[in-house]
Structure 1
Amino acid sequence: MWGFGGRYYWGRRERVGRVEGIVVAFAWMSSQERHLKRYVDMYSSLGWNSLVCHSEFLNMFFPDKAASLAFEILKVLVEELKIKRCPIVFASFSGGPKACMYKVLQIIEGYHEPRRYSLDDYQVVRDCIAGYIYDSSPVDFTSDLGTRFLLHPTVLKASQPPRIVSWAAHSIASGLDTLFLNRFESHRAEYWQTLYASVSMKAPYLILCSEEDDLAPYQTIFNFAQRLEDLGRDVKLIKWNGSPHGIFCIFQSNIELLSQSC
């Protein structure tokens, strides 16, 4: 969680029988494989394969590290689509968009020099994108995000952080602020511009959020959804009450909800 890069794996990978497509799940930073199992099982029950990506926390502050992981994710997708093309849905949780997904979007739009594969290969991935799911995201990228994230109960698994943990988190955040003082706004602008530019792929959006979320405030997510609609895309925004950040929506398959929003 605390380093660079990340890891990825197939939650389900079937090539025979019922295969509707691939869900690429960009998980929240404190998540482990067992936390994503319920989503993998849910997608599997509907015939969807799933590729799960766990990003490290510092990817949010070092775009080149997020890009390196994004290239790895695309390598897997390119090879899979060479066997058989199918719809792809990007499902992002919490800080997942900033830690990896937005770099995937930039690469397939040609904003990065290709690695190993050609732009035509990445174009195939782009052409297969069938929808986006944002669950308790996107989280805004601000200079105090590090402290708020590191000390959040859903990350620490405790209602109150130990004093030493609080001190360490503030020290880390202070160091990041000093290092990136002149970069935060440019990184933030690039991040949001990339998310909005994804409307060019003409896929629908499903956005799930809570009015009680302090890391991904409802107003931020509402403004994001409104802007996507203003840009001409189909957006389904679902909000609920009484759930803090990290209590993700599992009451109904979000793949089913996405299909209803088309």
Structure 2
Amino acid sequence: MWGRFYWGTKGAEVGIVVVFAWLSSEERHLKPYLDLYYSLGWSSLVCHADFLTLFFPEKATSLADSILKELVKEIKSSTLPIVFAAFSGGPKGCMYKVIQLIEGKCAGQLSKDEYRSVGDCLCGQIYDSTPVDFTSDLGTRFVLHPSVLKMSSPPRVVSWMAKAFASGLDALFINRFEAQRADYWQTLYSSANFGPITIFCSEDDKLAPYSVVSNFAQRLQEQGADVNLVKWNSSPHVGEHYKYHPDEYEAAVTSFFERLLWFLPTEDNTMAFRT
């Protein structure tokens, strides 16, 4: 498996947030988000996809299948609402394959009913510094970004080596990029019916440009999705919006989860909208 998953927090009363973390993130980077979700009554199942899953969809599918197996185990005894929270490359690294498995658009190891049971519990999505467009220079842009290199001004030799490695991957897979890119975006657009969506973005984010994110939000709204777009004029890519704008971020997340409170288990232990 190219990646891993683990329970960041567990035992909360309301439901489960599946966190599709950004590349190179560590548990300490995610802790503020997991603590915020937990304070609002939500446990967190964290997915860390490896960098190479961006280029090998079959590996992303394997990781996605493992996450869905874990979710199926959790909801068998008690139906729980599920939210997806994606950061930076998280949607491409794994989340879009989770959606495809739920929608029956690719094969996995579980039954259709089991995948559908998770889809029936999915009631909302959060996007932070994402979606990132999947273009032919994706590897180069990701590897050279400070959030991946973990240094704001890396030595020239480190930048050169990283660029050479990523450029090689970009060149190797160039013939597959457009097909994968179309598949990726079509899948994200198809998730418009999975409950309300909150998107955090910045006008000066070069890895997830505002034009790309706002167009994504507009497309979802055109399909009837309830979208809340939270935008800052200047805020670093991924992991920093919450750090630099804590009050606004917490307010938006709290409002998002409050909108989900009416999506509760019914007496027959299925998910339904409260009337």
Category of TM-score, reference length = shorter chain: over 0.9
Specify whether residues 67 and 143 from structure 1 end up closer, same or farther in structure 2 by C-alpha distance, changes over 3 A only. same
Return the offset for 1:261.
6.2
Moved more, 122-131 or 162-171: 162-171
TM-score by length of 2: 0.88
Contact 1:92 1:135 in 2 (8 A): yes
Return the offset for 1:188.
0.4
Residues 218-241 of structure 1 show CA distances to partners (whole Å, capped at 9, x for unaligned) of 010000000100111110000012
Partner of 2:70: 76
Residue 132 of structure 1 aligns to a residue whose secondary structure is: strand
Alignment match of 1:23 (pick from 4, 17, 27): 17
Partner of 2:265: none
Partner of 1:256: 254
Contact 1:206 1:261 in 2 (8 A): no
Contact 1:55 1:100 in 2 (8 A): yes
Partner of 2:9: 12
Return the offset for 1:151.
1.1
Structure-1 separation of matches of 2:152 and 2:178: 31
Partner of 1:37: 31
Partner of 2:228: 236
TM-score by length of 1: 0.92
Contact 1:151 1:161 in 2 (8 A): no
Structure-2 separation of matches of 1:208 and 1:87: 22
Contact 2:200 2:230 in 1 (8 A): yes
Aligned pair count? 254
Alignment match of 1:192 (pick from 158, 161, 185): 185
Residues 21-48 of structure 1 show CA distances to partners (whole Å, capped at 9, x for unaligned) of 1000000011011111111111111111
Moved more, 223-232 or 247-256: 247-256
- Gapped runs of 5+ residues in structure 2? 261-275
- Gapped runs of 5+ residues in structure 1? none
Contact 1:131 1:205 in 2 (8 A): yes
Structure-2 separation of matches of 1:21 and 1:159: 37
Contact 1:89 1:132 in 2 (8 A): yes
Alignment root-mean-square deviation, CA? 1.5
Partner of 2:91: 97
Residue 182 of structure 1 aligns to a residue whose secondary structure is: helix
Return the offset for 1:260.
5.8
